[in-house]
Homo-oligomer: A and B are copies of this chain.
Amino acid sequence: MKSVAAGTPAQRQVLVRTHEHATVFCCEPVEVETSTAPEFVDITEQVMSVVAASGVRFGQATVYSTHTTAAVKINENEPLLLQDMARAIEYASPCNGDYHHNDFSRRTVNLDDDECPNGHAHCQHLLMSTSETIPIIDGELQLGRWQRVFLVELDRPRTREFVLQAIGE
């Protein structure tokens, strides 16, 4: 960002403040396949590659899940830990618990032809977020040493989508 005097000398009193690098709003939907639930799918590489493609050097990336039974979580990708976190999620809202949402005889709205009982997945989602925002400095996502970005499948295996947005200059 700098200021330059534009136009003829007579016009120089009008300072035109210019962006050396204009603000970019880059938005990319990305699909991932899940294979079980709960499942932590590491999407860090996909996030990094959209940030690189966006050309954003200074700004931030927002990772957004478009689902109500798949969340965004940043944590460590250590296989035994993923088992621990899956157990904590299951403990908070057990899959075989009793959920009004699963009583299709009483449900009157939002019923698909292939509707499956997934009350636990919605309640487990309470634990996590739909979006997380990560700073970008000098083109690098500011993930800490152990941080990885996950799309967390809470329901059942399927194709899931997250939206990655890079904003910056």
Q: Which chain A residues have a beta carbon within 8 Å of chain B's beta carbons? A: 1, 4, 6-8, 11, 14, 16-25, 27, 58-60, 62, 64-68, 73-81, 83-85, 88-89, 92-93, 99-101, 103, 106-110, 119, 122-123, 125-135, 137, 142-147, 161, 163, 165, 167-169
Contacts and interface: CB of A to CB of B under 8 A. Distances in A.
**Interface majority SS (helix, strand, loop, mixed), chain A:** mixed
A84 B122 contact: yes
Given A74-B68, A76-B122, A100-B80, A60 B137 contact: no
Contact of A68 (B4, B76, B128): B76
Nearest to A80: B100
Nearest to A120: B84
